[in-house]
Amino acid sequence: MSNPNKTVSASLDVDKIRQDFPMLSKRINGKPLVYLDNGATTQKPLSVIKRMERFDTEEYATVRRGAYQLGEMATNTYEETRKKLARFLGVEDARQIIFTSGTTQSINLVAYSFGKKYIQSGDEVMISNMEHHANIIPWQTMCEERGATLKIIPINDAGELIMEDYDRLLSSKTKIVAITHVSNALGTINPVKEIVSKAHAVGAKVLLDGAQSTPHMKVDLQDIDCDFYAFSGHKIYGPSGIGVLYGKYELLKEMPPYVTGGEMINVVTLEKTTYAKPPARFEGGTPPITQVIGLGEAVDYLTNIGIEKIDAYERELLAYGTKVLSEIPGLRIIGTAKHKASIISFVLESVHPHDVITLLDQDLVAVRGGHHCAQPVMTRFCVPATTRASMSFYNKYEEIDALAAGIRKVQEVFA
Amino acid sequence: MSYQSELYQQVILDHNKNPRNFRELTDGTHSCDGKNPLCGDEMTIYLNINDDGIIDDISFQGSGCAISKSSTSMMTTNLKGKSVDEARVMFEEFHKMILGEFDPETQEHHLGKLTIFMGVREFPSRTKCATLPWHTLACALDKKQETSTED
């Protein structure tokens, strides 16, 4: 398949960028890795790997405890990373940045803690039909425990939220709306500013699941004005085991702790404990220190390239991938929203996604097949599973061609 | 150029495309629903076992990948006319073969053509696809209503 553009992009030197990622030069049996599972986890640039190694070999000590020099320096680096994350999200007050183990824990924290403080019997919580299980189950559990009702915003055939239904479902009973910024299974970019302003108009708070948005686009929380924002380090080229919860300080300071233990306290006697202020209140136990430092380096890496440039190039990749895959007979793209991130979910006529991925894997094309932890999305589109290619700024046009060629070979096997 | 695969051999592809005994058994004596929650594979196995403990009829319905569908189809063709005791021995051998704990090439076996699934050993993420029908069969023989690969 000829493509006049190949890896040429107006603003990104992809070949040069790829040299930053050791995993991308991996070969097995002489075949290069075609890594298109970035929605699940992203590869790490050498700068992140090296920074963590340097921290562990030269700077490592625990944080916020030791009064000795090394501990204070590590604490300083840790807290500077918090400020870096605040800047990354367009937030001024770094006390609003809580380090968690990932998006899942961030959402669980809010569901538990916000729920305990603010949700009463008869209240309503709203999610949508396109959520990842991590943004469904914590709310189901909380609603069950607090006697609240869970409302679901439906989605249309393109995989977009039906905003008329959102308007209809919102009421003074709605206490919190928890919506994904970008759908992991469909790629849909949701109109988050509109969602937030409408929720605020009825007095509801908003949590946005940013696991799939932060890798692809500039996120300015001052502009979006949501109350909580959650994302994971390992999906934005950082390590796993680390994530972020942003929360507005006036809400966080009223919320009870989620995990109790060391370093989240003010005074402890054997009878009673008074809790530290946020963010320490929500970071009980020794945090994943090295991973925090690694996440900071990943943010630097993205910032140095320029998240707007990344966004622009990934849009080109998405357009190219959509065009190339659409040309394959018997292939149907699931998720055709007007506004999409570089995620393409698809099904093949009479070939199950698990057979697709097993065969693609023989050419070292790594894509995800399954329900993407979003079973209600699969149910909505009446498919058991999809195959998903999720693209990064380090992917090349040729890799999309390799995917398309692989899919055609799969179809030959199953012809 | 096409994929050469130990896994997707012609027989397997054929059973996927034209599954045998793919129907409901309304007057059966045993049945069970099997699920693989990780994949979303779902199938129901139906059996008609006579008073002598012989499988007079066996069928299935459901949806899944090529491996689970062909494995189920071939299981049904291989079990018809066998006794329940023989079926249990075959389940044991098949299961161990998939896990790499039993080698039908060197050990005496009762698997017949089912040894074609030996290639699944090389694909750990797909072993549950191949064994789902057999777990569901065992569940039906035990007179249980449903089973899951994650149980």
Using the beta-carbon criterion (under 8 Å), do A414 and B63 form an inter-chain contact?
no
Size of interface A-B (CB pairs under 8 A): 53
Mean pLDDT of A16-23: 98
Query: Where residue B151 falls among pLDDT bands split at 50, 70, 90?
Result: low
Contacts of B89 (CB under 8 A, 6+ apart): B110
Q: Is residue A72 part of a domain?
A: yes
Residues A17 and A60 in one domain: no
Residue of B nearest to A410 (CA): B3
3-class DSSP assignment, residue A210: coil
Contacts of A25-33 with CB under 8 Å at 24 or more apart are A28/A364, A31/A363, A31/A364, A32/A364, A33/A364, A33/A366
- Residues A354, B65: C-beta atoms closer than 8 Å: yes
**Domains along chain B with CATH numbers:** 3-141 (3.90.1010.10)
Is the bond preceding residue A279 a cis peptide, omega within 30 degrees?
yes
* pLDDT tier at A10, thresholds 50, 70, 90: low
If asked whether residues A267 and A312 sit together in one domain, one would say no
Q: B65 to chain A, minimum CA–CA distance in Å?
A: 5
Residues, chain B: 151
Catalytic residues of A: 373
Would A325 be classed as within a structural domain? yes
A201 and A262 co-located in one domain: yes
Q: Among residues A259, A279, A304, which one ends one of the domains? A: A304
CB pair distance less than 8 Å for B63 and A362: no
pLDDT given at position A260 = 86
Residue B119, min C-alpha distance to chain A (Å): 13
Question: Residue A128 pairs with which residues in a beta bridge?
Answer: A153
Per-residue pLDDT band for B125 (boundaries 50, 70, 90) equals confident
**Span B62-75, mean pLDDT?**
95
Shared domain check, A28 and A156: no
Domain holding A354, by residue range, is 6-43+306-414
Instruction: Give A410's contacts in chain B (Cβ within 8 Å).
Output: 3
Residues from chain A that touch B65, judged by Cβ atoms under 8 A, are: 352-355
Residues of B in contact with A370 (CB under 8 A): 38-40
Q: What 3-state DSSP class applies to B80? A: coil
B8 at the A interface (CB within 8 A)?
Answer: yes
Contact: B3, A352; criterion CB under 8 Å: no
- Give yes or no: residues A194 and A276 share one domain: yes
Residues A233 and A352 in one domain: no
Say what the pTM is: 0.93
CATH number of the domain that A330 lies in? 3.90.1150.10
CATH code: domain of residue A125: 3.40.640.10
Q: Kindly list the residues from chain A whose CB atom is less than 8 angstroms away from the CB atom of residue B150.
A: none
Average pLDDT over residues B60-66: 93
Q: How does pLDDT run across A270-279, given as a tens digit for each residue? A: 888 889 999 9
**Interface touch B39/A409, C-beta < 8 Å:** no
Least CB-CB distance to A358: which of B13, B16, B126? Answer: B126
Convert the pLDDT of each residue in A120-154 to its tens digit: 999 999 999 999 999 999 999 999 999 999 999 99
SS3 B49: strand
Number of domains in chain A: 2
In Å, how far is A1's CA from the nearest CA of chain B? 15
Per-residue pLDDT for A6 more than 80? no
**Rg (chain B; Cα; Å):** 14
Q: Which of B13, B65, B123 sits opposite A352 (nearest CB)?
A: B65
B41–chain A Cβ distance below 8 A for any pair: yes
Longest dimension (CA), chain A: 73
> ∠A136-A142-A144 over CA atoms, to 5°?
100
Q: Give yes or no for B66 touching A (CB within 8 A).
A: yes
Check whether residue A53 and residue A12 sit in a common domain. Answer: no
Residue A225 near residue A377, CB atoms below 8 Å: no
Q: How many CB atoms lie within 10 A of CB B49?
A: 19
pLDDT for the residue numbered A272: 84
Which positions 379-408 of A are in contact with B (Cβ < 8 Å)?
384-385
B125 touches A at CB < 8 Å = yes
Does a structural domain hold residue A1?
A: no
Domain boundary among A255, A275, A304: A304
| Complex confidence, ipTM | 0.88
**Strand bridging mode B30-36 / A368-370:** unpaired
Encoded amino acid at A400, one letter:
I
Q: What is the pLDDT of residues A362-395, one digit of tens each?
A: 999 999 999 999 999 999 999 989 999 999 999 9
Most confident of A167-181, A260-274, A367-381, B31-45: A167-181
Cite the DSSP H helix spans in A346-388. Answer: 353-361, 375-380
Angstroms from B99 CA to nearest CA on chain A: 18
Residue type, B50: N
A410: contact with B, CB 8 A cutoff:
yes
Contact with chain A for residue B13, Cβ under 8 A: yes
Q: What is the gyration radius of the CA atoms in chain A, in angstroms?
A: 22
Are A199 and A278 within one domain? yes
